[in-house]
Amino acid sequence: MKKLILIISLCLLLSGCYDYRELNELAIVNAISIDIEDNQYSVSAQVVNPTKEQDISSMKENSFIIYNAKGKTLQEAFRNVINDSPAKLYGAHMELLIISESVAKNDLVNILDFLSRDPEIRNEINIFIAKDSEAANELMIKTSLIDIPSSKIITNMETNLKYLGTTQDISLNYIIDAYLNPYKELTIPTIEIIYDDKKIENQETLTLDNIAIFKNNKLIDFVDKDITLGINFILDNIGGTVIQYKCDSSNYLVSEILKSSTKIEADVKNNKVIINLTGHSSISEVNCDINIRNNDIVDEIRKNINKKIEEIVKNSFYTIRDTYNTDIFNFQDLYYKSDYNYFNKFYKDNWYSEIFPNLDIEVNANYKLYEKGTTLGGIKNE
């Protein structure tokens, strides 16, 4: 009996991996873009160049290779890539998906269905919509600092979230969750190429200052960075940003938000949402003739910073509510979770016809002013 157990154990150890594949048989994908051309899907895959990685003599070669193919279905398009690629696409290391504006408007559900069925693709990949251009073009951008365009885009996004707060970090998992939730609406960050004809070789610049907004899972429009900032305050997506206000008739005081947190309460029966914003801020620039050694002036600055943030949030909410009538703030989901019975009885069937258009918000910003800079009184008052 002991010999039998030993033999079985050895067999298990010698069985190997059933899905084992050699690395040189795979084309490791960093990013994918999806367009629609001539009523077909056009996919582009950014693949790591193994020659560049292995051979130091190939310094002039790109670190990536772009493969493109078309097909009536996504599966056909990706399989057709094999005609150009020496290996099968491997998506386990993919970090970025860019879809064109036309795909976002007409075929988003097909994209989500296809990606969610592929066990190799991680749910954490970031998704962007290519605004006013073909998605494939975005993957062709290179910079002198970061050789891989997908890494460039991810780095830009992370930097923006940390210092500006005018884009979003949206993953495949988040989009699928919002798409399947009847009480949530989608927002997806956009990426756009700005061409500068005055620069050498018409150099391209990436901008991530807008987001796409949806209603009933349909893309309806894009909003600019000012509206996006207010939306991110509400959704608790602010890592840091810059707030400025006029401190006299022509000059500005600038504050940097160093930390931010949003807490939301629902007064369901009165159709009202209370948004409480807290965090830390600092004074980074003073163009007015004021002495910030004076505690009363510092307190006034703090109040003005909070007032400006409240104005930004209110402007974003009422613009989205009155112009687009889409609840990208997920207040419907908040109402549903806060008072399930009342919501189902009075709000569920008339959310967009009566409830959301009349929903009101109360915004309370309370950012503490922790830093005034090394020149405490300002140059004019030292």
Q: CA separation (Å) from 202 to 10, 193, 207?
A: 64, 11, 16
DSSP reduced 3-state for 185: coil
Q: What is the pLDDT of residue 52?
A: 52
Q: What is the pLDDT of residue 84?
A: 79
Place 57 in a pLDDT band, splitting at 50, 70 and 90. Answer: very low
Give the pLDDT mean for 75-79: 90
Give the pLDDT mean for 368-379: 60
Cβ atoms of 190 and 227 closer than 8 Å: no
pLDDT digits (tens, 9 = 90+) for 321-350: 999 999 999 999 999 999 999 999 999 999
Query: Which range is least confidently modeled, 139-143, 191-195, 253-257, 312-316?
Result: 139-143
Which residue ranges form the domains of the chain, and what is each CATH number? 25-223 (no CATH), 236-382 (3.30.300.210)
**The tokens 């990685």 sit on which residue?**
53
56 pLDDT exceeds 50? no
The DSSP symbol for 25 reads G
Q: What is the pLDDT of residue 11?
A: 61
Cβ atoms of 327 and 335 closer than 8 Å: no
Q: What is the pLDDT of residue 330?
A: 96
193 pLDDT exceeds 90? no
What is the percentage of the chain residues whose pLDDT exceeds 90?
Answer: 58
Q: By C-alpha distance, which of 41, 43, 38 is closest to 136?
A: 43
Over the chain, what is the mean pLDDT?
A: 85
Q: What is the pLDDT of residue 108?
A: 93
Q: CA separation (Å) from 285 to 163, 244, 307, 380?
A: 15, 9, 18, 13
197 versus 105: which is more confidently predicted? 105
C-alpha triplet 178, 183, 188: angle, nearest 5°: 35
Give the pLDDT mean for 73-86: 86
Place 9 in a pLDDT band, splitting at 50, 70 and 90. Answer: low
190 pLDDT exceeds 90? yes
pLDDT digits (tens, 9 = 90+) for 272-326: 999 999 999 999 999 988 888 888 999 999 999 999 999 999 999 999 999 999 9
**The tokens 């948004």 sit on which residue?**
275
CA 335 – CA 358 distance, rounded (Å): 14
Q: What is the pLDDT of residue 381?
A: 45
371 pLDDT exceeds 70? no
Give the pLDDT mean for 35-59: 75
What is the percentage of the chain residues whose pLDDT exceeds 70?
Answer: 81
Helix (H) or strand (E) segment spanning residue 99: strand 96-100
Query: Which range is least confidently modeled, 87-101, 233-247, 354-368?
Result: 87-101
Q: What is the pLDDT of residue 377?
A: 44
